[in-house]
Structure 1
Amino acid sequence: MSEHVTDEHHPPPEEEARSTPTGRVGTSTVWNVLQYGGSKLVTFVSTVVLARLLAPEAFGLVALALLAINIFDRLKDLGVGTALVQHSGSWRRIAPTGATLTLVLALGFGLLCLVTAPWLAALLGNDALVPLIQALSVSMLLQGLAVFPDAALRRHLAFKERTLPELGGAVVKAIVSIGMALAGAGAWSLVWGQVAATATMAVLYWLVYLHLTGRARVPGAELTASPLAEPADRHLGWDRPVAGELLRFGGSLSLLALLALVIDNLDYFSIGRRLGETELGYYTMAFRLPELVVIGVCIVIGQVLFSSFSRLQDDRDALREHYLRAIAAVATLTVPAGLGLAAAAGPVVDTVFGEQYAPSEPILVVLGCYSAVYALGFHSGEVYKATGHAGLLNRLAIAQVAVFAPVLWLAAGRSTLAVAVAFLACHVAFTLLRFVVTDRVIGIPLGAQLRAVAPATVSALVMAGVVTLVDRLVPLPQPFVLLVLEVLVGAVVYVGALALLDRQALPRVTRMLRPGGAS
């Protein structure tokens, strides 16, 4: 166990990085959004193609298999990856133990998933899931192997370097899935596409990490200045106090991850068990676009914000100011996207997925609204974790499970649309609760939070109303043409309304995304 030794004029890269909390936030956000956008564009195109090659039942079956796999995926590192990002100590001290923990845990949970596949399939009420779950357990193991290098990059805000693994995985997944679907592999095309993607990402993450530490070369890549250019003395190691620190912080996050998994999949579970694979297929496809356009954006921006919030955890005034600017900027991007999907659901479904997914249209209306609500409250969780209040998220999640489980199960007794409506209603209530908790615990007043997101929310509601009128009143027979018209009208109305309510909204987003800037 060795510490960085240096003179007073040249602080170690680790200390220097941790002392400049917002200098690289803008650059990191840009690269995280770009890699997300690139990988999700590939995913979107492949989904459009696969929707025309596979029946709704195939998507429903794989969604159930992934539901089982996700139980282990959320536990694969017991939160050690996030703890490596949040830990304020020397990277040289914590890295070898962190690497050992993540690798051992990935192997253990991968094998556990493999051997419990029959029990998981029985729990989900479908024996056909057994081989699918067993194959996907390989994907889960490979994801676990990528946890350590990914955490190292995120800790040092090296989000540019994450682009190659993320985009590479998406491209491989698309090629394998579409190729196998064309060959008639059905649901297996989605499964093996997932396995191929995670294998690609695991290899690329380790290559990029080793390249940045100077221990390997990625062809055509330059070794730029980075805190990772000062690596730990060895790849693997064991320091019992460090392991305890990482597991204590990560353990609370693992419980949170498991609870979040339950919350995020209660709708899938209820529909799959009570309404069947076909209805779950319609619901899954309706969820794809809000997940892609809104929820995914929240997650990738949240990864950067968690890193920057962690660096500001000892300066509460700066943290509060940074948080309010961040949620205002995120709302400006995400709320209109969610409400826009809801307002234009008809031409969106017809254009993207085709007529066979017409039952997904009313579900998308509701889930588009859900994604907008989700975006408003999502990043409060990053503040709780960054300031050592992860236990708050556990308590909130337990309350959500207690409410969501019976409500969604009862709604599934009526229809898939009823499940979507219940899901939306529950999230509205708990988003408001998150605002209240943030007010009382972190010291960010409820009124300040509401004022931060109000301009984007009101402007998006106006936009959604106008787009709905266009959808109802303009007689265009071609769904694609109508969709283009609604997007253009919606963009003009939203930007105009936002300019009237908050002239600083768009400059605020620009500052957040500007390389070298901060939100």
Structure 2
Amino acid sequence: MTSSVAPETAPETGLGGRVLSALRWSFVATVVIRFSSLGVSVAMARLLGPSEFGVYAVAFVVLAAVLSLNELGVSVALVRYQGDERVVVPTVATLSMLGSLVCYAVIFSVAPGVAASFGAPAAVGPIRLIGLCVIVDGLAAVPVALLQREFRQKRRAVADITNFGVGSVISIGLAVAGMGAVSLAAGRIVGSVASVVLLVSSVRGRWRFGWDRNQAGGLLAIGLPLAGSSLVVFGILSLDQFIVGHLGGATVLGIYVLAFNLSSWPVTALSQPVRAVTLPLFARLADDPARFSRTAVDCLGALLAVTVPVATGLGASAYPLVRVVYGPDWVSSSPVLVWLAVLGGCRVLLELFYDLLVALGATRQLFGLQVAWLVVLAVGLPVGQHLGGPVGVAVAHSLVCLFVIVPLNVRAMVMRTGTPVRALVLASLGPAAGGCVIVLTAVALQRSVPDLFALAGTGLVAGLFALRGVLRLRGRVAR
């Protein structure tokens, strides 16, 4: 570095480069996994059918519940830790592993009761098998947090792709052999083990167990509210599946879960790679309110520019997508997907608000927002089920999120950061206009051409808008 570079600009340049590199590798892993998983999910859906798919869905719901709690939130505390991470790593590793072992013991014990409550008694074995992923996740907590903290997403990308690749091969092979829902659970656990081996090797010499009572107290003070919030989020995203499964059984649940998984594409394809950098980035800007606010508006506008095309294209193409890709056995998922696509788009924004509030240390306020969301859903979802079955549940969930929860999170962000509401509105106008164009295109094509051509045409238009948004996102991060 030459003397002509001002000292105060050097860290900024280094941070910008690391953020861009991490974001690039996050998107690489996401693109590879998402597009590959489309083929795998189609194959598994056709091999298993709605009933077996519903059995696996019950097991996965249980896993998601425990993964939201098992490491007690201390890995996130490690990501935002302001000092030398070597001081806290041993205690974080111990807390994560202890929490995971306790959680698996609970999974094993409650599996029969949970399976029965979802209307899928055959799910007991898959629940206990896939639950082993909780122990593997406890081992991975520290390596993942260290890689995220240091923006080393290339290592994480390799591990994630390995996880998906190994798990998919095992799942498809076992499904062909007639193992049913167990095939998905077994693939998940084998893939997770392969991934954790790579993750641990990437932080060799820094990952170890230990204990410091004082550090443990501080970590839990930050982590437990986050773990509680994550558990509430699980309830938010699973309450609809519980209601549908409890009243409709495994087959109806399988149909609903297929639509829910498809609607989650905006979250997994867009939010997850961006979240690999947003939390550590916002944590480093938390002491500069003006820059924090500008960066928040930039990220929101850029995320909307990518998310709206994907979500609207997905929802507007729900009928031809399901008919062409998944076949007639799954056509009942189409009207559910139309509405859940709205929920998927909203979830991308809510996860950005989550990272903003965590970076600002507003974990109690965040927990309150999540509890409010769960309470409103607890009232609205049964009403939706009564009026319209699974489609009514999807409508209720989406409307609650769009008209109640998103505004509450925007209000919290504005109050915490002083961000002008006008700036947020202006950042939303362009993406909203693009979404209208995509919907009109989809409607026109579906009325005039066969499903395959309508799907391809809508996908092309939505893809062009999304590509424009990706380029905008990259430019905003660079700035």
Q: TM range, normalised to the smaller chain? A: over 0.9
Residue 271 of structure 2 contacts residue 351 of structure 2 at CA under 8 Å; is this kept in 1? yes
Q: Distance in 2 between matches of 1:288 and 1:98?
A: 32
Give the drift of 1:370. Answer: 2.2
Give the drift of 1:69. Answer: 2.6
Distance change (3 Å), C-alpha of 1:266 and 1:508: same
Give the drift of 1:488. Answer: 2.6
Residue 177 of structure 1 contacts residue 193 of structure 1 at CA under 8 Å; is this kept in 2? yes
The residue number in structure 1 matching 2:433 is 458
* 1:225-272 CA-partner distances (Å, limit 9, x unpaired): xxxxxx4xx722222221111111001101101100000111101100
* 1:119-150 CA-partner distances (Å, limit 9, x unpaired): 33344344322222111221221122111111
The residue number in structure 2 matching 1:255 is 228
Q: Distance in 2 between matches of 1:305 and 1:22?
A: 12
Structure 2 residue corresponding to 1:484, chosen from 419, 437, 456: 456
Q: Secondary structure at the match of 1:97?
A: helix
Give the drift of 1:491. Answer: 4.6
Residue 32 of structure 1 contacts residue 301 of structure 1 at CA under 8 Å; is this kept in 2? yes
Larger displacement relative to structure 2 (35-44 or 354-363): 35-44
Gaps of 5+ in 2: 1-9
Q: Distance in 1 between matches of 2:379 and 2:168?
A: 37
Larger displacement relative to structure 2 (40-49 or 371-380): 371-380
* 1:150-174 CA-partner distances (Å, limit 9, x unpaired): 1110111111110111000100111
Question: How do 1:84-163 and structure 2 match up within 5 A?
Answer: 84-163=78-157
Distance change (3 Å), C-alpha of 1:198 and 1:495: closer
Give the drift of 1:99. Answer: 1.8
Distance change (3 Å), C-alpha of 1:427 and 1:205: same
1:38 aligns with 2:32: yes
Q: Distance in 2 between matches of 1:117 and 1:343?
A: 38
| Matched-pair identity in % | 28
The residue number in structure 2 matching 1:396 is 369
Residue 119 of structure 2 contacts residue 247 of structure 2 at CA under 8 Å; is this kept in 1? no
Give the drift of 1:442. Answer: 2.2
Residue 467 of structure 1 contacts residue 489 of structure 1 at CA under 8 Å; is this kept in 2? no
The residue number in structure 2 matching 1:344 is 317
Q: Secondary structure at the match of 1:441?
A: helix
Give the drift of 1:290. Answer: 2.2
* 1:436-494 CA-partner distances (Å, limit 9, x unpaired): 1211122112222222122112211222122211112x232xx33332122234456x4
Q: How many residues align?
A: 468
Give the drift of 1:76. Answer: 0.9
The TM-score with structure 1 as length reference comes to: 0.85
* 1:421-441 CA-partner distances (Å, limit 9, x unpaired): 101101112111211121112
The residue number in structure 2 matching 1:420 is 394
Q: Secondary structure at the match of 1:54?
A: helix
The residue number in structure 2 matching 1:202 is 196
The residue number in structure 1 matching 2:405 is 430
Q: Secondary structure at the match of 2:71?
A: coil
Distance change (3 Å), C-alpha of 1:125 and 1:315: same
1:407 aligns with 2:372: no
Residue 286 of structure 1 contacts residue 360 of structure 1 at CA under 8 Å; is this kept in 2? yes
The residue number in structure 2 matching 1:510 is 474
1:316 aligns with 2:279: no
Give the drift of 1:301. Answer: 0.9
The structure carrying a bigger helix percent of its residues is 2
Q: Secondary structure at the match of 2:210?
A: coil
Q: Secondary structure at the match of 2:137?
A: helix
The TM-score with structure 2 as length reference comes to: 0.92
Q: Which amino acid aligns with 2:301?
A: A
Q: Distance in 1 between matches of 2:72 and 2:391?
A: 35
Residue 103 of structure 1 contacts residue 144 of structure 1 at CA under 8 Å; is this kept in 2? yes
* Aligned-residue CA RMSD (Å): 2.2
Question: How do 1:182-261 and structure 2 match up within 5 A?
Answer: 182-210=176-204, 215=205, 231=206, 235-261=208-234
Distance change (3 Å), C-alpha of 1:491 and 1:201: closer
The residue number in structure 1 matching 2:299 is 326
Q: Which amino acid aligns with 1:144?
A: G
1:290 aligns with 2:263: yes
The residue number in structure 2 matching 1:219 is none
Q: Which amino acid aligns with 2:473?
A: V
The residue number in structure 1 matching 2:6 is none
Q: Secondary structure at the match of 1:81?
A: helix
Structure 2 residue corresponding to 1:307, chosen from 258, 274, 280: 280
Q: Distance in 2 between matches of 1:424 and 1:293?
A: 14
Q: Distance in 1 between matches of 2:253 and 2:225?
A: 31
Residue 26 of structure 2 contacts residue 154 of structure 2 at CA under 8 Å; is this kept in 1? yes
Q: Secondary structure at the match of 2:209?
A: coil
Distance change (3 Å), C-alpha of 1:40 and 1:17: farther
Q: Secondary structure at the match of 2:170?
A: helix
Gaps of 5+ in 1: 1-15, 216-230, 499-504
Q: Secondary structure at the match of 2:152?
A: coil
Q: Distance in 1 between matches of 2:471 and 2:41?
A: 34
Residue 97 of structure 1 contacts residue 238 of structure 1 at CA under 8 Å; is this kept in 2? yes
* 1:352-387 CA-partner distances (Å, limit 9, x unpaired): 212211111111111122222333343111110001
